[in-house]
Amino acid sequence: MEKQIRRFDISGGFDWGGETIESIREDLDNLEAKGATHIEIDVNEYSCDISAYAQRLETDEEYKGRIKAKQESDERFKQLEIERYEKIKAKYNL
């Protein structure tokens, strides 16, 4: 498995309704300081949701954590399959 480009949400707590450009620039600078690389604006009929996130290649530590979590999940799945097999085997005297 290779490292992946991942999305990490960044809390912003901003509402840009009727804001000055200067105020929005300050918010963007603060988000960049927190590591944000992207802004997503979702507009629908009743609202406008704004979120910030960082999109980057995962670090070695994040990669190792993801691999470990995958291996643990695979092992749990394998154990469940073995348990199911043993129950069926016992039920049908195989």
User: pLDDT of 38-71, one tens digit each?
Assistant: 999 888 888 778 889 999 999 999 999 999 999 9
Do 11 and 35 lie in one domain? The reply is: yes
pLDDT at 33 over 90: yes
The secondary structure of the chain in percent helix, strand, coil, rounded to multiples of 5, reads 50, 25, 30
**What is the gyration radius of the CA atoms in the chain, in angstroms?**
23
Do 48 and 68 lie in one domain? The reply is: no
Residues 51, 63, single domain; the answer is no
Categorize the per-residue pLDDT at 9 as very low, low, confident or very high, splitting at 50, 70 and 90.
Answer: very high
Residue-number span of the structural domain to which 48 is assigned: 1-57
In the block, tokens 């480009």 appear at 5
Domain identity same for 10 and 39: yes
- Domain tally for the chain? 2
Are 50 and 71 contained in the same domain?
no
The Cα–Cα gap between 82 and 75 comes to: 11
**Is the pLDDT reported for residue 13 higher than 70?**
no
Judgement on whether residues 6 and 47 belong to the same structural domain of the protein: yes
Within this chain, do residues 45 and 65 fall inside the same structural domain, yes or no? no
Give the predicted TM-score (pTM) of the model.
0.64
Q: Which helix (H) or strand (E) holds 70?
A: helix 60-91
